[in-house]
Each structure stands twice: as structure tokens, then as C-alpha cells.
Amino acid sequence: MSEPKPIENDDEIDLKELALTLWRGKYIIFLFSVLAVTFSSIYLRGSERTYSVQAVFKPVIESSGGPNLSGLSGLASFAGISIPTSNSSDFTTYQKLIFSEEVAEKVFTNRELVLKLFQGEWNSDTGSFVAPVSGWLGDMKQLVKSVLTGFEKGKYIPPNPKRLSRLMAAILNISVDNSTGFLSITAETSNPDMIIELISNATQETDDLLKERFFASAEDTLEFYYQKLLTSRSPEHREALAKLISAEDQKLMLASKSSNFVAEPLTMPSVSLYPTSPKSSSVLALGFVLGIFLGAAIVLGRYAITKPRAT
């Protein structure tokens, strides 16, 4: 008896046949590659270019230009009050205050900057802020969101310090170099000049706010020292108070003559030489690869439909 012939598996892939099929459809694959690169080019021409902005700040170190007050801590305790100092804790506070509503309220007084930041909501005809038009896509997203979550769209709130504070936190990124202690503020934007102005305003207002707080506490401290000095009869106590008053006066003079109290710019804000987004080479390469895959999928799909089936 003759052995039965093995049943052929129609699902088995013939690599040679697959390669020949792709080669026969090379013009279709080439066509889709050209179309994909063309659409990628159209996207690049119409897309908004963004640049990287970076500003670096360093702490105003007390020991570099002012008196060393570390040795007076015991005298301060003896007098019954602590010395306000500008140290690393102030620099940490500085970082936290940059995005605060208190700083945003001061920045908000710069009307020209606010109009730039919320340009899409400003109506020059009425001279007021209005809710931006979301369009059909935005309305569709809001409809889907309300159906899925049950939350309706909130009432429009014109720009205010709270919104400005959230916008600054969303735009600006803060990081501290552990090795140097320098503070970096970075952002990706299509309007570098506006972001540089925002960084300059926010950092200066933050530094001024901390300086005002220091001046207020320093004046109260000096007044307390002088009152204690007038009523004190102990020579040691009077000597300690005199040293504290001298040190506080030196700190006040240092803060008065310096434009920066906690942090000062290390370098001028820099803008990347070339756009950081979108990356032209990556977009074109991705478009070309997707075009090849799409063309190959169509060629293989057409072959699978027209391929004769074995009976």
C-alpha cells in the first residue's frame, strides 16, 4: 500500500512567495511612502516650533559678602530671640514661593505680560477676557467627559492670580543641582521672549517678597534688642545685645545694598539655538517607515484576497 500524502497547511508562510509578493507591489509601497513623507512635510510646515528656555540661579550666600552670624546663636538664645538669617532654608522657601498665589498676585499687575499669557482669551473689541471657543472637537470631548464622569463643564473664570499661579506651575519646571545647589528654571515654548519675561518677573517678585518679610522681622527684632538694652543691668547681657544689634545692622545694610536677597541669576536666560519640537528628522523618518508598512499591508492584503485556494 502506498503511504498517504501529507496534507498541506494553507496557513504555512512561504517566505520566498512573501518576498516576491512584496517585490511585485513595490510601486504601491513606494507610492504610500512618498505620500506619508508628503503629509509629514505638510505637518512640519504647519506645526508650531517650540524652543527650550533655561535660567539658572544661585543662592546669595551669606558668608561670601556679609558677616558670619553662626557664632552668635548662643547669644541670641541668651537674649531670648533668634536671629533671622538668609540661608539654605530661605532658598528652599524661595523655590516654593515662585508658584504661589502671593507671588502670582504681584506678577498679575504686569498687564502686558498677562495679556500675552492669556492671549487666546482676550477680546480686543470688548476689552475684556472671554471664554475661548472650543470648537466641535472640544465640544465632543466635553460631551464624552460629561457622559462618562457626570461632571458638567464649569463656569468660565477670567484670568486671576490663582489661574496665573497654576499656569506658571504648568509652564515652568524647577530643578536643583545637588552637586552645586544651583536652581534651574526651564520651559518649552513657542514664545521664548514671553517666558523669559515671566521668569524674570516671578523670580524678582519672589526675592522681593522674602526681602520684605526679612525687613519686617528685622525691624521688630532690633526694636526688641534696644528695649532689652535699655532695661538690662548685667554687663554680659548688655554685651550680648550689643553684638546682636551690630550683626543685625550689618545684615540690614547687606540686604539694602543688594538687589537680590535670597537668589541671584548665575547666567542670563538662554534659548536653544534650534527648535526642540517638532524634530524634523524624526517626523520624516517615522512618516517614511509608516508609509512602507501601510503600503506593504495593502499589498499583502490584496494578495491574501486574490490568492487561489487549494481544493
**Tens digits of residue pLDDT in 197-224:** 999 999 999 999 988 888 877 777 777 7
The domain limits of the chain are 15-47+278-311, 50-107+159-277, 119-156
pTM: 0.72
Work out the burial of residue 36: count CB atoms within 10 Å of its CB; fewer than 13 is exposed, 13-18 middle, 19 or more buried: buried
Cα angle, residue 278 at apex, residues 276 and 284 outer, rounded to 5°: 130
Rounded to whole angstroms, the Cα distance separating 70 from 85 reads 10
Specify whether the CB–CB gap between 286 and 43 falls below 8 A.
no
Give the residue from 218, 203, 174 showing the smallest Cα distance to 86. 218
Say what the pLDDT of residue 283 is: 92
Say what the pLDDT of residue 140 is: 78
CATH C-level class of 50-107+159-277: alpha beta
Beta-carbon contacts of residue 211 (< 8 Å; ≥ 6 apart): 255, 261, 262
Say what the pLDDT of residue 287 is: 93
Q: Sign of torsion, CA 148 149 150 156? A: negative
Rounded to whole angstroms, the Cα distance separating 291 from 33 reads 4
The DSSP secondary structure of 262-293, one letter per residue, reads SEEESS--EE-SS--BS-HHHHHHHHHHHHHH
Query: Which residue stretches of the chain have pLDDT < 70?
Result: 1-13, 61-88, 250-251, 254, 258, 308-311
